[in-house]
Every structure is written in structure tokens, then in C-alpha cells.
Amino acid sequence: MVLGALVDAGVPVATLRSHLAKLGQSGYTLEAREVVQQGFRGTQAVVTVSEPQPARRLVDIIAIVEQSPLPPEVKALACRIFRRLGEAEARVHGRDAEHAHLHEVGAVDAIVDIVGAVLGLHLLGVESVFASPIATGSGLVQCAHGTVPVPAPATLALLEEVEAPILPGRIQCELATPTGAAILTTLATFSPPAVQVQRVGYGFGQKQLPWPNALRLILGTGLAQDLQADGVSIIEANVDDMTPELLGAAMEVLLDAGALDVYFSPIQMKKNRPAVKLSAIAPVELEGKLAELVLLHTTSLGVRIKSARRLKCARWQESVDTPWGPVRVKVRSFRGKKSAAPEYDDCLRVAREHGLPVLEVYTAVNTLARAQP
């Protein structure tokens, strides 16, 4: 599917074939054809193995790649994928990675898939790869070691190593193979940035699903280098039987536990009851902990959790010298322009220590901060 998406996005299949021939491997063909699935068009790349394949160890595959005349950066990245794949297989089966036989992964079609993926991105001039959560499927799958659960143990080991986000789903089939997981978890990070879309490619798999079985490749350029992207969880609960004091206490608990922000929104619930919706923005890794705290410190019977992406300006903290001593300010940068805002807690402390209105201190610090280079 990766090869199909690359060809659909503009990599000539003939160019891929000519470069892959430099690996010196025979007994396979690489074909790409336009297909339509569920009403959507894309490209399906198929590697057909026509000769029996020898049992290859990780060291054998690395030697094949390193001894080829492919570009050095392509060889280095492809070998990194193979090493991670070999290490995952070895960890699962309790063997030495370098000399373990890789079974399906060592076949020529897997070699073509991995080297072809790196080669295609190189030919397109791709500098960075980002991915959405990986759909893994569920159920059972047959492999060289028998019947195993989905995701396969090696796939799961690769996902675990980089803490990749996954979407298991309810469909009973394998959607993420060890080869695909190795490619994605080695090449990609899982916080897609804001981009200006230039080209889109769809690579279709051969498995028939109730929806288009496609990998979508989006090529683009970053919109702003000083924008940072990350993922957060939004935890929500509707409450109609708590006093404002208790809601305020729950907010403090959540903020102290690491919530990025907590806020209340007025809502109308059943039986004509005015109520509030508690929303806590949480780092993904604290999602479970903060959800438990919502249930512990409110009367809600449950919580809703949504995933969201943030785009953040670059920000940092500086200190401004004032007549009352140093005061912290928050600085943000966007498109080369900086702006600053005084830290309220510092302004409040100074105001109390010197018997001044907070507004006077805040305004003075703001003026001094703007005057700083």
C-alpha cells in the first residue's frame, strides 16, 4: 500500500523498478495499476514472487542493502527499518536479532516493500514523515509460527517501542503488518503539523473491506516553522447537582494533577435542569488519571473523551527588571513577531508587597517587556 501511494503521488513505477534492480535480487515482479474500490480510485502496487525464496537472516538482508549502489541515505534508512524489525522479531521469540531467520519479513517482497518505501520518499524529496494513529484490525492471523492475535506480536513490539497511537477497530482482519508497522514507526512521528497540501496519493491493498482499503499519502510544505503540533485529550462531564464551591475544588484538583486547562460551560439538560459541562484538556499520557479524578471529585456517572490536535506558537518565559525587582513574562513568537504578557501571579505578589494596584504593576511590566529587544 505504501508503494501504491507513492506511485499514485507521482513516483514513476519504472524508476522504482530500475533502482530496486540495484539490489541484485531476482524472482519477483513489481506492477502498479489503477484501481477503483468503493467508488474511489487509487493505485495498487503488487509484488509477485515467482521463485522460491531462501531463508534470510537479518545480517543477510543488511548485506544485500549495504552492498548495493543505492544512495547512501536510502541504504541507511532502509537498514534501520530492517534492524528494528529484526530486533522486534528477536524480542518476541527470544532470539539473537542478527542471526535470526525472518521468515515472511525476509522474503523478497518484504525487501522490495521496505527499500521501495524509502526510495520513493527519497525520489519525492520528502524531508519529514508524519502519521495519524495506526489502524491495526483485530481477530487472529496465520503466520510462520501458527495462529496469533492481531496485532501480531512483532507488530505490537514495534508499536510499543515508539508508543505509537493505534486504532484497533472491530473488523476481524490484520490491517497493520510487521513490515508496515516497521516502516511507519521508523519513518514517522505521530503529530501531523499544519501543511499546505500539494499532492495526494492513494495506495490500495488487495484485501476487500467494507470501506476503501487504502493508505493515503499527503505531500505538502509546512505553513509555519514556529508552529508546534501535538495531541491532547479533552475529558468532558455533565454535572447538574454540585455547588459552585465543589466544582471549583474539582477544577483545582485537575489542574494540580497536570491538566493543561479546565473550564465550565453552561448547558441545559433533561428535565429542564440548568447544568454545567466540565471540560479538562489533558496531555494524552494523563488521560486515564485525569478521567478517574473527574469521577472521584464530581457526581458525574461517566466521562466523554475526545482526541484533538493543537497547533501552538513557540513560547517561553523571560524575566523583566522592574523598579520592584524581576518579574516573569510569557513570550510567544509567530511568523517572526514576538509578543509578551506579564505573569499575573508575579504582578499580584509585587502589588501586595508594595501596596500598589495590580493594574498599575501589570501595565508597567507590560511596557517594560515591550521595550525589550
Mean pLDDT of 19-39: 95
Is the model more confident about 137 or about 107?
A: 137
For residue 33, what is its C-alpha cell?
495499476
- What angle separates helix 178-187 from helix 72-93, to the nearest 10 degrees? 130
User: Strands 261-269 and 273-283, how do they pair?
Assistant: antiparallel
Which pLDDT belongs to residue 106? Answer: 59
Looking up cell 508508543 gives 163
pLDDT of the residue at 98: 64
Average confidence score pLDDT of the chain: 91
Residue 105 has pLDDT above 60, yes or no: no
* pLDDT category of residue 281 using cuts at 50, 70 and 90: very high
For the ranges 59-73, 121-135, 179-193, the lowest mean pLDDT is seen at 179-193
Cα–Cα distances in angstroms (integers) from residue 140 to residues 58, 151, 215, in the given order: 26, 8, 22
Q: Using 50, 70 and 90 to split pLDDT, how confident is the model at 268?
A: very high
Question: C-alpha distances in angstroms, 28 versus 33, 55, 76, 208, 337?
Answer: 16, 16, 23, 24, 55
Instruction: Yes or no: say if 186 and 121 are a contact pair by the CB < 8 Å rule.
Output: no
Q: 284 vs 235, which has greater pLDDT?
A: 235
Which domains does the chain carry? Answer: 2-223 (no CATH), 228-302 (3.30.70.1380), 314-371 (no CATH)
pLDDT confidence tier of residue 157, bands split at 50, 70 and 90: very high
Mean pLDDT within 263-269: 97
Rounded-to-integer distance, Cα 152 and Cα 143, Å: 9
pLDDT-above-90 percentage for the chain: 70
Please tell me whether the overall predicted TM-score, pTM, comes out greater than 0.85 for this model: no
- Give the pLDDT mean for 202-230: 86
> What pLDDT is stored for residue 112 in this prediction?
96
Q: What is the mean pLDDT of residues 212-219?
A: 96
Strand partners, 238: 277
Q: Which amino acid is at 311?
A: L
Which pLDDT belongs to residue 64?
Answer: 95
pLDDT number for residue 101? 57
pLDDT value, residue 99:
57
pLDDT band at 350 (very low <50, low <70, confident <90, very high): very high
- Flag whether pLDDT at 103 surpasses 70: no
Instruction: Note whether 230 and 309 are within 8 A (CB).
Output: yes
